[in-house]
Amino acid sequence: MNPSVLLAAFFATAIEVIEMVAIVVGVGVARSWRASLVGASAGLVVLAVLVAVLATAVRNVPLTPVRLVVGALLLVFGLQWLRKGVLRVARDGWGVGHTAPDVDSPDSGERGFDWTGFVLSFKGVSLEGLEVAVIVVAFGAAAGAVGSAVVGAAAAIIVLGALGGLTYRLVAQIPRRALQLFVGAMLTTFGTFWAGESLGVAWPGDQSALLALGAVYVVAALGLLSLVRHWRRDNAQQTARPGPTSAPSPSGMHR
C-alpha cells in the first residue's frame, strides 16, 4: 500500500464525487429518487468497468513511458484545475460550496419509471466517473500502485456518497472551489515529479521532493490569487469611476 498515492487519489476523486452527489440528489428531489439512484448505480458500474479495463491495459506497459504520459496528463488536469480554482476563489472567496444543478421539472402526466431522471443521473455520474477513472489509473500506473489508487478512490466515493445520502446540505457546503485549487496544485506536483523522473531528472530526496514541489505550487497559486484579486479590484474601481464631464458648448449657452 502506497499512502501518498492513496491520499492523492482520495482527494482528487473527492472533487468529482461532490459533483456526483449534487447531480444525484438534485435529480432525486426534482424528479424521481428511484430513477436517480438507479441511474447513479448504473454510472458507478460504468466507472468500475472503466477502472478495471484501463488498469489492465497499463499493467504490462514499461514504467518509464507510462510515467511520461501520466505526468503530462496530470499536468494538463492539474494546471486546468489550478487555473479554475484561482479564478473562482478570487471571484467568490474561499467559502463557496457546490449547489445542486438545475434540472427540468417533472411532467405531471408522466407515469411509471422516469427515464429522463435516469439519464440525467447516469450521465452525470458516468461523465464525472470517466475523469475519476483516468486519474486513478494514472496515479496507480505511474507509481506502480494501482491497488492503492483504487482504494483511495473507492474510499472517497463511499465516504462522500454516504455523507451525501445522510445529509446533502453538509456536502453542498464543502468549499469545492478552494478544494479544486489545492487539488490542482497536488496533481500538478505529481505530474511534474513523474514527468521529470521519466526524463531522467534526479529529484533531491527522491519521494520527499514531492513536498517541496507541492509547497512551490501552493505558494505560486496563492500569489496568483492575490494578483487576480488586485486586478479585479482595480478593474471594478475603474468601471465605477465616473468619466470626465464635458463642458457645455458655446452654442448651447444662453446669451
| Residue 165 forms part of a structural domain | yes
Cell digits of residue 236: 471594478
pLDDT at residue 104, as a whole number: 39
Q: Output the pLDDT for position 216.
A: 93
pLDDT score of 168: 60
What domain range includes position 15?
3-103+114-235
What's the average pLDDT block by block, 10 residues per block, for the chain (255 residues)?
82 78 71 85 84 70 72 82 86 64 42 79 78 76 78 86 70 67 82 85 83 91 90 80 56 48
Does residue 255 form part of some domain?
no
Measured distance CA(54)–CA(72) in Å, rounded: 17
The reply to whether 247 falls in a domain is: no
Assessment of whether the complete model's pTM goes beyond 0.85: no
The 3-state DSSP class for residue 229 equals: helix
Q: What is the DSSP letter of 254?
A: -
80 domain residue, yes or no: yes
Phi/psi at 27 (nearest 5 deg)? -65, -40
Alpha carbons 19 and 11: distance in angstroms, whole number? 13
The three cell numbers of residue 96 are 463557496
Amino acid 219: pLDDT:
93
**Location of C-alpha cell 469611476:** 241
d(CA 14, CA 180): 10
Is residue 36 classed exposed, middle or buried when 0-12, 13-18 and 19+ CB atoms within 10 A define those classes? buried
27, 43, 99 from 123: Cα distances, Å:
11, 7, 18
Q: What is the tally of structural domains in the chain?
A: 1
Please indicate, yes or no, if residue 248 is contained in any of the structural domains: no
Q: Confirm whether 221 is domain-assigned.
A: yes
* SS3 category, 235: helix
Is residue 98 domain-resident?
Answer: yes
Neighbours of 26 (CB within 10 A): 21
